[in-house]
Structures are given as structure tokens and as C-alpha cells.
């Protein structure tokens, strides 16, 4: 089991298993969401994700195109985001407690990356994953 929390600790959650893989997205939305060059996140099955505290403190901002940022209403940290209509939860990796042995399996939207944001793994893509399934497959999450 792996636990995680927001900056202030109001929002707490756990995962059944430590993620082994993550991805980075370099698009302008993820850049502004995080304040750095890219997000760094993974996806877990909804059945493997548990809220422990603070779920009611979560605020949501959604762009008309569908991009959504869920964040702690107390400290503003981006928090896990259940994918609407899909049995998965998006998890920002930096919220997890303790060391994690995980590997980057994809960089996305590299065409949108800032010139000062150079980090890439072996699998990098000019655009976003075509579908959620493509991302799930890249992350090697067993169904
Ligand atoms: Zn917080
Ligand atoms: Zn993005």
C-alpha cells in the first residue's frame, strides 16, 4: 500500500499498490497546472484507490474542452482526479509518501514544451495520447 496527501494534509488517500510507471505531459495546460515544465502523473484502477480524508474539501476547475484540475480547497495542491465515466483515477506522483521505484514510460505534447523543459524518456510523443486506453497501455496497467 502507498499513501499520499496534499500540501496541507487535508486530502489523504492510498493506493493498493505502489505505481511502477508514470508519464509526463508538456502541454501548456499541464505547465500552468503545475507551475513547472510538465506534469508528472500516473493512472490507477478506481478499485485500487481509496480516499481517507478531505474528499469534501476538493474543488474543481474545468475548461470547456474537458481539461479538469481537482485541487485542495485549503492549500491549492492538485489532487487525484477520478476520470469521469472511466474506472480509473489520475494521480499526481509527487503527492505520494515515501520512495517510489517507478519509471517514466512516456513524454507527451513535446511540441508544446518550453525550450527550458528538456527532460524526455525514450518514448516521447509530439502530441497527447490518442485515447485513454493508449495511455493505460503505455503505463502497463493490467485490466
Ligand atoms: Zn491541502
Ligand atoms: Zn497536458
* Whole-angstrom distance, CA of residue 89 vs CA of residue 132: 11
Are 99 and 93 within 8 A, CB to CB?
Answer: no
Please state, in angstroms and as integers, the Cα–Cα distance from residue 81 to each residue in 25, 55, 57, 72, following that order: 16, 11, 13, 11
What tens digit of pLDDT does each residue of 28-61 get? Answer: 999 999 999 999 999 999 999 999 999 999 999 9
Are 97 and 13 within 8 A, CB to CB?
Answer: no
How far, rounded to the nearest angstrom, does the alpha carbon of residue 77 sit from its chain's CA centroid?
Answer: 12
CA of 78 to the centre of ligand 1 (A): 9
Asked if the model's pLDDT at residue 143 lies above 90, the reply is: no
24 lies in some domain: yes
Q: What is the pTM of this model?
A: 0.95
Split at pLDDT 50, 70, 90, the class of 19 is: very high
Identify the pLDDT of residue 142. Answer: 79
Ion ligand 1: protein residues whose beta carbon lies under 5 Å? 6, 8, 10, 72, 74-75
- Grid cell, residue 42, equals 500516473
143 lies in some domain: no
CA of 67 to the centre of ligand 2 (A): 9
Identify the pLDDT of residue 84. Answer: 85
Nearest ligand to the C-alpha of residue 41? 2
CATH of the domain at 19: 2.170.150.70
* Whole-angstrom distance, CA of residue 43 vs CA of residue 87: 10
User: How many domains are there within the chain?
Assistant: 1
Pairing of strands 21-25, 103-108: parallel
Nearest ligand to the C-alpha of residue 127? 2
Percent of the chain with pLDDT over 70: 99
49 lies in some domain: yes
Nearest ligand to the C-alpha of residue 65? 2
CA of 122 to the centre of ligand 2 (A): 18
Amino acid at each position: 500500500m502507498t499513501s499520499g496527501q496534499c500540501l496541507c494534509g487535508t486530502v489523504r488517500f492510498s493506493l493498493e499498490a505502489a505505481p511502477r510507471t508514470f508519464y509526463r505531459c508538456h502541454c501548456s495546460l499541464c505547465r500552468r497546472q503545475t507551475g513547472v515544465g510538465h506534469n508528472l502523473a500516473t493512472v490507477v484502477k478506481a478499485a485500487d484507490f481509496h480516499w481517507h480524508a478531505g474528499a469534501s474539501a476538493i474543488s474543481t476547475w474545468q475548461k470547456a474542452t474537458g481539461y479538469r484540475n481537482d485541487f485542495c480547497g485549503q492549500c491549492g495542491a492538485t489532487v487525484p482526479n477520478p476520470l469521469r465515466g472511466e474506472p480509473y483515477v489520475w494521480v499526481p506522483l509527487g503527492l505520494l509518501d515515501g520512495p517510489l521505484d517507478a519509471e517514466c514510460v512516456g513524454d507527451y505534447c513535446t511540441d508544446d514544451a518550453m525550450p527550458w523543459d528538456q527532460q524526455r524518456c525514450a518514448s516521447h510523443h509530439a502530441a497527447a495520447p490518442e485515447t485513454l486506453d493508449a495511455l493505460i497501455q503505455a503505463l502497463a496497467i493490467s485490466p
